[in-house]
Structure 1
Amino acid sequence: MTSDVRDTAVKDAARHEARLLWAGNRGLFALLAAARHTGPIARVPKLGWVVTDPVLARRVLNDHATFTMDGEGGVGHLWTQLFGPEMAQFFGGARHAEVRTRARDLFTEDGARSLVERSQGPWYAELARRLAGGETIDVADATRVLAGRLVSDLLGLPTDRDDDAFRAVFAAGERLAGLAMGTTASTELDPEVVERAREIVAEITSGVDAAYRAAGAGTILGRCREMDLGLPLARGLATLLAIAGTETGASGTSRTVALLHDTGQQHALLRDPGLMENAVREGLRVSTPAPVIGRHVARDAEVEGQRLRAGERILLLTYLATTGVGPFDIRREYVPETRQLWFGGGRHLCLGAAVARLQITRMLETLHSTGRPYRVVSRRAARRVLVPTYASLRIETHD
């Protein structure tokens, strides 16, 4: 590939990513565009402080006493309005550390591999069979079904259902996440929004009560029961997992598939499968499925010469912090400054990071299982969603 062709491919990939951001959330698109010129930290009227530097963002995420998830600006504030003060205590208290400790073995590299193969393995095999037979498959749709299956397995909910049931699980999570689209300026929800959110939560958690009583020790709900967390908190955790385990994973997977195609770098991956780890890491870095992380300023603090006051909010623009390194490049070495910032940081670092990486790996392995490259036949961006993604990404293999 000549340098001109390579440059054109990189620009095409960037345009497709920009379209996803624009279609998904125009307010987010505008914020990211404006913040490219603000410097590492700046105060934006009506929004609060915004951070675009990866090292500074990590410092904020690691300072749990100053920057909290509870209170205006933190995601814990949203969940507290839906599930009550017990949820606030969970995000900021010892129970959070206890749950993570008790569930950690489910999310190790071995635990992730077991979970993914058990819940998704047969469907990857079916996708590979269809591709080998010359069929066109919709990667975006497949990621939604697979995400629904994985979350149901992890929670201990019924898994002997057809694909439409898991599409419904994903769609409900997407609707709930979509209600948070207007919270960039404030995480205080209107009563009407809270009521709609609780209706969706009831739909998502309809099987949680039964699973809480019967789920095995290898599931999140089973661990909740063993710890005597109680049903209300278990429902909150199940809802949180349903969104975290579906929205971001599906987005990262389909966008990585598209990035490899659009930049032409899938050919390098086909020639050298040893680049897989780099490809997955780069896909997550460039797509950054959680493009913004909010925190509440709990006490006065000085950050890079700026004086932050208690009660203010701070937005970590992780999309800019990670993509500032450069365009998608599967030969890029590990960048210490970003260090998986797309999974958050500190004690709230995404527990399912290994699961997310493995899901992307398995999808890429499946698409290359024929030994031939794939091409995108058609694509359509998802509209008005919290996490930018594809509504449809249809591919087929070719010689």
Structure 2
Amino acid sequence: MTSTKTNDAARHEARLLWAANPGLFALLEAARRTGPIARVPRLGWVVTDPVLARHVLNDHVRFGMNGEGGVGHLWTQLFGDEMAQFFGGATHAEIRTRARDLFTEDAARALVERSQGRTHTALAARLAAGAAVDVADAARVLSGRMVADLLGLSAARSDGAHRDLFGAGERLARLAMGTTASTGLDPAVIAKARTIVDEITAAVPHAYRTAGTDTLLGRCREMDLGLPLSRGLATLLVIAGTETGATGTVRTAALLHDTGSQRALLDDASLMGNAVREGLRVAAPAPVVGRHVSRDATVGGRRLRAGDRVLLLTYRATNDAGPFDVHREYVPETRQLWFGGGRHLCLGAAVARVQVARMLETLLSGGRPYRIVSRRAARRVLVPAYAELRVRLG
């Protein structure tokens, strides 16, 4: 990989971050010089070191998701105290235990093939015929299909319905863009968010009653969680399963192209795991993770007080290992930090990895590299993403 291509890839990633949120871009750039942990006025403690970040994520006694700074604080304002109990209580562990078999490597492969296989076959045929394909649009539809299947929603939904589901999730996530300094939501924002939630979960009551136990909503019914909490979990899955999954997929496809790494993957299919891991490490679809300090704690020699807030800059922590490189071996320090850590490690990590690999396989199914013919960054979105990434075989 040449330094020119490495720099090109870095510039494209920087443009995505800037277009999504100039404030976030500025924070990530400033954090290059703050050291592993520093206190920043108005924001709280900022952590850029991957080992310290994992320490925070693994310490559930001193660092919580509920309370100012934690993502649970946002969801509780939308769905009530039941969501707070989910993020901080035994219900969370029970749901993960009862639903774990839906997210194994084998289950992930079956889910992706069942919900996305026909679309991938059609995409490969279009590429082979010389047509250009918008990978960003395809990823939005595919992520919507996957989430609908996992929840137990109707399989007959059109591509347009899945685009709408993705769009609603994006609008809901966008409302959280102003919460870097405080996770307290204005009543007007809460009202707007609840309207979007109603749109996202319109089909959830029926699915909650009728979905099989091989779906998440079927498991929720089996556990007698009730419809309000199930609606909250469904909304959480829509955000996590569409926004981060789609951007991780598309940005990995762009990184593979921009770094000139396609030929290496075509020549050696065993590098696929590296390519997926590197794409997710560099893209870090959830670039910032928040936690609330619930008890006094010491991190990296600094004393954090109960009531403080912590911002884990996962994008900075994972990217300091170096640029995208399909030959890079597993980096223990970063591990899977882009999926979180501890008991809140993303349950759908295997699904995300399979989704990315499946898209790369489709793009390379013609046995030759693809080229990007046009791209456009998404503007004012919580998760940095491509609004358009058109490719054709070159």
> TM over 0.5: same fold?
yes
Q: Which residue in the other structure is 1:194 paired with?
A: 190
Over the matched positions of the two proteins, sequence identity in percent amounts to: 75
Q: Output the CA distance in 2 between the equivalents of 1:302 and 1:132.
A: 56
Q: Which residue in the other structure is 1:294 paired with?
A: 290
1:161 positional shift: 1.9
Alignment of 1:115 onto 2:111: yes
Q: Which residue in the other structure is 1:334 paired with?
A: 330
Question: Structure 2 regions of 5+ residues with no counterpart?
Answer: none
Residue of structure 1 aligned with 2:12, choices 3, 7, 16? 16
TM-score by length of 1: 0.98
1:162 positional shift: 1.5
Alignment of 1:377 onto 2:373: yes
- The amino acid that maps onto 1:325 is A
3-state SS of paired residue (2:175): helix
1:159 positional shift: 1.9
- Once the two structures are superposed, residues 72-104 of structure 1 have per-residue CA deviations (whole angstroms, 9 ceiling, x without a partner) of 000000000000011101110000000000000
Residue of structure 2 aligned with 1:54, choices 34, 50, 57? 50
Write the mapping of 1:157-196 to structure 2, written as runs, cut at 5 A.
Answer: 157-196=153-192
Q: Output the CA distance in 1 between the equivalents of 2:221 and 2:347.
A: 19
3-state SS of paired residue (1:102): helix
- The amino acid that maps onto 1:45 is P
1:256 positional shift: 0.5
1:267 positional shift: 1.1
Q: Which residue in the other structure is 1:82 paired with?
A: 78
Q: Output the CA distance in 1 between the equivalents of 2:238 and 2:77.
A: 18
Q: Which residue in the other structure is 2:201 paired with?
A: 205
Q: Output the CA distance in 1 between the equivalents of 2:334 and 2:361.
A: 26
RMSD: 0.6
3-state SS of paired residue (2:124): helix
Alignment of 1:310 onto 2:306: yes
Alignment of 1:244 onto 2:240: yes
Q: Output the CA distance in 1 between the equivalents of 2:155 and 2:9.
A: 36
Q: Which residue in the other structure is 2:136 paired with?
A: 140
1:163 positional shift: 0.6
Alignment of 1:66 onto 2:58: no
Q: Output the CA distance in 2 between the equivalents of 1:45 and 1:383.
A: 27
Q: Output the CA distance in 2 between the equivalents of 1:305 and 1:284.
A: 30
Aligned residue pairs total 394
1:245 positional shift: 0.2
Alignment of 1:224 onto 2:220: yes
Q: Output the CA distance in 1 between the equivalents of 2:157 and 2:232.
A: 23
Q: Output the CA distance in 2 between the equivalents of 1:360 and 1:86.
A: 33
- The amino acid that maps onto 1:143 is A
1:305 positional shift: 1.7
Residue of structure 1 aligned with 2:256, choices 253, 260, 272? 260
3-state SS of paired residue (1:181): coil
Write the mapping of 1:89-108 to structure 2, written as runs, cut at 5 A.
Answer: 89-108=85-104
3-state SS of paired residue (1:360): helix
- The amino acid that maps onto 2:251 is R
- Once the two structures are superposed, residues 236-274 of structure 1 have per-residue CA deviations (whole angstroms, 9 ceiling, x without a partner) of 000000000000010000000000100101111111111
4+ runs of 1 displaced by more than 2 Å? none
- The amino acid that maps onto 1:153 is D
Alignment of 1:150 onto 2:146: yes
TM-score by length of 2: 0.99
Q: Which residue in the other structure is 1:350 paired with?
A: 346
3-state SS of paired residue (2:372): strand
- The amino acid that maps onto 2:6 is V
